[in-house]
């Protein structure tokens, strides 16, 4: 059986910044299509550099970027073709936004692709709906909150209808409700077949959300795999500067004491709480009654 090639792949990529700093060294990772991927690593591990390579904004010093198994041509036409299919949301919205008004900013991508006015309007409306900003279409960008600016950036990329959505630390600076809303939006996109890759230094979030995890340390991807598989590898997590996610560590202790079954292992603390609440309560305080 011939399996489909990864939608995007870095193969042995080196990157040295102009000041001589190493961004990546011999970095290889592959994104299976239609899955939720987390790029997990400490500060300075190379997450942003990986995302810039996957979108063709940086060019490998050595090694290769492949799209659908084919080497990407870093000429003008090749990069335009790549960026039609692969959208990147920067960590800092002010680096991405450039138009004065929300609708204008979100329209830029589809206008640039040459769509007619009706198609552009429909795409912009759908993208603003997806991020919950339809009623803010006419607002001045500089008056928006950080979270709203972030959502405008995401809408601008969604309006291109990319097959791969890359997001650099998208949860940073968002409150808990906004993080949950964004995670739900990314889940909906993945359910429609969009490949999503986000970078994060939060192992609890990564293991709670992603299907696949790519562990980055000192400019190299030291391991890639299913979240459930990597969760059982504290050695690799430690090598990347992370501890075992709290839900997984707690579950392992509870399973070792026979309180919970070994599997399934809950992916998040709320899922662990649900598993515990499903157990009968054995020890009641005198006088306490259960409902």
Out of ligand ADP, Mg ion, none, what residue 44 binds, judged by CB under 5 to 8 A for its kind, is ligand ADP
Helix (H, G, I), strand (E, B) or coil at 143: helix
Interface stretch with ligand ADP, choices 13-21, 62-70, 117-125, 132-140 (CB under 6 A): 13-21
Interface stretch with ligand ADP, choices 43-51, 170-178, 190-198, 220-228 (CB under 6 A): 43-51
Burial 64-78 (b: 16+ CB within 10 A, else e): ebbbeeeebeeeeeb
Q: Is 200 in the site for ligand ADP (CB under 6 A)?
A: no
Cβ closest to ligand ADP, residue 54 vs residue 178: 54
Q: Is 17 in the site for ligand ADP (CB under 6 A)?
A: yes
Whether the CA torsion 100, 101, 102, 107 is positive or negative: it is negative
* Helices 246-256/269-277 angle, 10° precision: 30
Query: Token digits for 93?
Result: 């919205």
Q: Is 48 in the site for Mg ion (CB under 5 A)?
A: yes
Interface of this chain with ligand ADP, residues 45 to 74, rule: CB under 6 A:
45-49
Query: Token digits for 235?
Result: 């050695």
Cβ closest to Mg ion, residue 96 vs residue 107: 96
Interface stretch with ligand ADP, choices 38-46, 96-104, 178-186, 244-252 (CB under 6 A): 38-46
Among candidate residues 57, 66, 80, 71, the one with its CA nearest the CA of residue 6: 66
Is the Cβ–Cβ distance between 10 and 25 less than 8 Å? Answer: no
Whether the CA torsion 4, 193, 164, 115 is positive or negative: it is positive
Interface of this chain with ligand ADP, residues 238 to 267, rule: CB under 6 A:
none
Q: Shortest distance, CB of residue 38 to ligand ADP, whole angstroms?
A: 13
Q: Shortest distance, CB of residue 44 to Mg ion, whole angstroms?
A: 8
């Amino acid at each position: 059986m011939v399996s489909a090639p990864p939608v995007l792949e870095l193969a042995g990529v080196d990157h040295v910044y102009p000041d001589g700093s190493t961004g990546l060294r011999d970095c290889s990772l592959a994104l299976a299509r239609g899955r939720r991927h987390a790029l997990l690593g400490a500060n300075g591990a190379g997450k942003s550099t990986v995302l810039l390579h996957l979108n063709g904004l940086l060019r490998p010093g050595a090694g290769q970027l492949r799209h659908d198994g084919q080497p990407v041509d870093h000429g003008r036409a090749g990069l335009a073709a790549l960026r039609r299919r692969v959208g990147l949301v920067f960590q800092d919205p002010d680096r991405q936004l450039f138009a004065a008004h929300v609708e204008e900013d979100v329209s830029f991508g589809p206008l640039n692709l040459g769509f007619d006015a009706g198609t552009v309007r429909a795409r912009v409306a759908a993208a603003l709906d997806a991020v919950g900003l339809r009623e803010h279409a006419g607002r001045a960008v500089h008056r928006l909150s950080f979270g709203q600016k972030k959502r405008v950036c995401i809408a601008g990329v969604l309006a291109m209808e990319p097959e791969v959505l890359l997001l650099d630390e998208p949860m940073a600076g968002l409150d808990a409700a906004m993080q949950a809303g964004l995670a739900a939006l990314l889940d909906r996109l993945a359910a429609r077949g969009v490949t999503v890759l986000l970078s994060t230094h939060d192992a609890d979030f990564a293991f709670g959300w992603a299907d696949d995890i790519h562990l980055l340390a000192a400019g190299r991807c030291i391991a890639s795999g299913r979240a459930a598989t990597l969760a059982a590898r504290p050695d690799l997590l430690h090598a990347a500067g992370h501890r075992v996610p709290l839900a997984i560590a707690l579950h392992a202790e509870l399973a070792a004491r026979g309180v919970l079954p070994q599997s399934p292992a809950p992916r998040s603390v709320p899922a662990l709480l649900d598993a515990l609440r499903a157990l009968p309560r054995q020890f009641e305080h005198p006088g306490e009654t259960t409902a």
